[in-house]
Amino acid sequence: MGGQLLEIPGISIDLAKVLHGEQYLELYKPLPRTGTLRNEAIVADVLDKGSGLVLVIDVYSYSGKELICFNQFSIFLIGSGGIGGKRTSDKVKEAVAIPNRHPDAVLTDTTSLNQAALYRLSGDWNPLHIDPNFASLAGFNKPILHGLCSFGFSARHVLQQFADSDVSRFKAIKARFAKPVYPGQTLKTEMWKEGNRIHFQTKIQETGNIVISNAYVDLVPTSDVLAKTPSEGGELQSALVFEEIGRRLQDVGNEVVKKVNAVFEWHITKDGKVAAKWTVDLKNGTGKVYQGSAKGSADVTITLSDNDFIDVVLGKLDPQKAFFSGKLKAKGNIMLSMKLQTIFKNYAKL
């Protein structure tokens, strides 16, 4: 990261005064095992925090013409603030507070004394992580571990605990770097499961200091989860999907609203009767999902069974074929049903 920062046009950066504040990563496609990735970076915003400036840098990674993943770096420049700039931005992928309860799981790993030297081989040449003299200039008594290295340990803990170490279940991660980690210290990741989002924070076991805060990993739901039989209480499988779409809109709502520009009202049936109504508003604001009829007028009202809905989501049932076979009924602008596969494939990621 250090070398790339120095190449940003029009910005002079002293690496001794640079801290990695936050990181967001989202995968759109599995990373190819071989090939060439092209990274396109932009300075999305600059925030004035008083004691320093925050550079918000968005990086889009492509394999050929296909977007593979998105990264957002928040880089804190110590001593550069106080210029009267804005403090917040709607372009920032926000950190989320952890639940107010005991963690559902805790895992630990001890870093090695040469951990920073090993991680440096990934291409981050910032001397803060290897040179004792440079580290002292930045106010540390010895080189510190890369934030993204601790970030990786934490992500691995989440996947071990909640995804059976299946990396194909990984969707996105957001973390705030709160305090430094020194090579040789033990990382303890505390985790809370809420649906397909795993909240976590990471501490130094030896000191109790929180080093990663307000963090989460989003997991891709499995077909097995979606295919579970409804509970005795009558819970519908489709509820899981609508809740997941709602979570996705927190990150990509603006993009989806611009592309879809429609309000969908869903009537989900069970045993031939309407068992639930959901509204997916992809027309107003940054989008919203809520249970019940549309608060305004819906552009299209779609009726189908809970099981058929899940088949549409999983790509087993084409919406147009479902319409012509009578499994899916639509009122209003029925042409909007053609956008359903795009919504589920590109944004629900189910």
Pair of tokens at residue 275: 């068992």
Residues contacting residue 66 through CB under 8 Å, at least 6 positions apart: 29
- One of 45, 57, 75, 129 is an active-site residue; which one? 129
> Could you confirm whether 104 is annotated as catalytic?
no
Q: Write the burial class of residue 19 (CB in 10 Å: 0-12 exposed, 13-18 middle, 19+ buried).
A: middle
Pairing assessment for the beta strands 197-204 and 210-219 based on DSSP bridges: antiparallel
- One of 21, 52, 81, 147 is an active-site residue; which one? 147
- One of 57, 68, 75, 144 is an active-site residue; which one? 144
> Could you confirm whether 147 is annotated as catalytic?
yes
Whether 195 and 231 have beta carbons less than 8 Å apart is answered as: no
Q: Would you call 28 helix, strand, or coil by DSSP?
A: coil
- One of 124, 218, 299, 306 is an active-site residue; which one? 124
In whole angstroms, how large is the CA radius of gyration of the chain?
A: 23
335-338-340 Cα angle (round to 5): 125
> Could you confirm whether 75 is annotated as catalytic?
no
Q: What is the DSSP string of 90-149?
A: TTS----PPPSS--SEEEEEEPPTTHHHHHGGGS---GGGT-HHHHHHTT-SSPPPPHHH
DSSP state of 296: S
> Could you confirm whether 210 is annotated as catalytic?
no
Q: 195 phi and psi, to 5 degrees? A: 65, -130
- Residues annotated as catalytic are 124, 129, 144, 147
